[in-house]
Amino acid sequence: TNKFLFWFACLESPAMEEPKENFEENSTPHCPPSNRGINMPSEGSFNSMNSLNNHAHNDGLHEVSRLTFGTSIIMLCNIMIGSGILNQGQVFSDAGIIGTTVLYILAFCMIWLGSVALIEAAEALNLKGTQLDFSYLASITHGKKGSNLADGSIVMLNFMANLSYILLISTLASSLLQYWSGNETLILFKPYFLAVVFTIFFIFPGCLARHFTNMPSFAYMGLTCTTLVMLVVFIYGPPDGKKYRAMDETIVMWDWGQMFRKSGSVIFALGFTAASFHVYLGISPRNVKEWKKTLTLGLFFGAAACYSTGIVGYLSFRSATSGNILDNFDGVLAQIATILVIVHLIWYTPMEFVILRHSFFQLCGMEPLKVPFKLHWMVTALLLSLMVFICIVLDGTGVDSGDAFGVILDLSGGIGGAISCFILPAMIYRRAKSDGYLNVPCKILFGFGIFMAVSVPISTVIDFSYGE
């Protein structure tokens, strides 16, 4: 209740006056004002949620809620575990068990390195308050081009992510309603109609939240639904899979070609570097040591959830594993799991969307937390409408929703994820701390990102061209 009242008060209260300091000469026009004169409290000064909320006002972040350690980890896990977890069974099926395990180890290490590099670069430059932003940091180290690349990659990655969520919600809801009614021709049960209905009445209201840290209840609800879906796969996957898999079917252990393509899906499932500062702003105390602890635990739990769901799903259904693991289930069980996924995505989509809109506003040269509500509302409606339009086009072309879902994850993770999670963090750190202890690892991170950004799109296009 206290969190909710604080969030509501933030929406209604007038903006507090920012500290009046001069801009540095190299500041870009859209960069937020400096807050380096803010007095940060000591580690032991946070005795209650009220003190966290008061500190949010003291450092100039009037729309940002401070989070407890547990809530920070939950929100970090939730921003990782989106629709990507449903595709991990197919990753194992295509790339093999050993191949996928290698992909997970590489992705875990590189995503952890990229996120830590960003926060350490911000600390080296002594950024405070509203300056703790991916785009602002990129603008300091690489000018306007750097900030545009940061915001552009985040917009691309999160737009594709939200598109996949709306596509999944509409197709799953359509299959449920058609099964229950026995009517597959009624327009009310078509995916394109349901995409409009769910977006307007369920997704749009949540997307109006100003900042990522205002949405802990969304994370709790979303993660609860995800856990229940995982239990369905763990408990009912092996017995249900007997009718799909042949008894003598060989288990795929390694496929080099598919590893390149499916690495995009793994990066999509685990990647959250674009949201690093959004979570970092909410942790307390706000420092590198606390961030490393939160990051390591959140990334470990998120990766473990995706990996375990994927390998159990693959071993259950083998070569018949669908791009959306729920397509392999039928009957009452499938219906329950489908409802859980729909509910999860309804709660989850606004969290990704808030990050998308934040970078979109910065790409347009505006301060996201100070945009008038009317423009805030209109841009939210415009971006969601574009996603719905693409979903309608995909439905009209007759492309299989599972295939479209997999390709969207591969491409968005391979291109947008590689730029925002690997390439940019490496570039920013090496410019901010040229003599830092992560300088050599960041060279490896940069090379890994370039390789992913090139190899994933090429392998995806080749496979798609050959109808695979």
Whether residue 295 contacts residue 113, with contact meaning beta carbons closer than 8 Å, is answered with no
Per-chain mean pLDDT for the chain: 83
In three-state secondary structure terms, 436 is coil
Beta carbons within 10 angstroms of residue 246's beta carbon: 9
In the chain, how long is the greatest CA-to-CA distance? 73
| pLDDT over threshold 90, residue 465 | no
Determine the Cα–Cα distance for residues 152 and 143; give it in Å rounded to an integer: 14
* Torsion sign over Cα 437, 134, 105, 285: positive
Sole residue written with tokens 């977006």 = 199
Tell me the average pLDDT across 129-141. 91
For residue 66, CA distances in Å to 14, 278, 285 come to 19, 11, 9
Per-residue burial over 434-465, b = 16 or more CB atoms within 10 Å of its CB, e = otherwise = eebebeebbeebbebbeebbebbbebbeebee
Tell me the average pLDDT across 47-64. 46
Global pTM value:
0.79
- Apex 135 CA angle, 264 and 139, nearest 5: 120
Calculate the dihedral angle through the C-alpha atoms of 31, 33, 34, 38, rounding to the nearest 10 degrees: -130
Tell me the average pLDDT across 199-219. 88
User: In which element (H, E) is residue 11 found?
Assistant: helix 2-12
| pLDDT over threshold 50, residue 53 | no
Tell me the average pLDDT across 105-119. 96
Tell me the average pLDDT across 158-170. 90
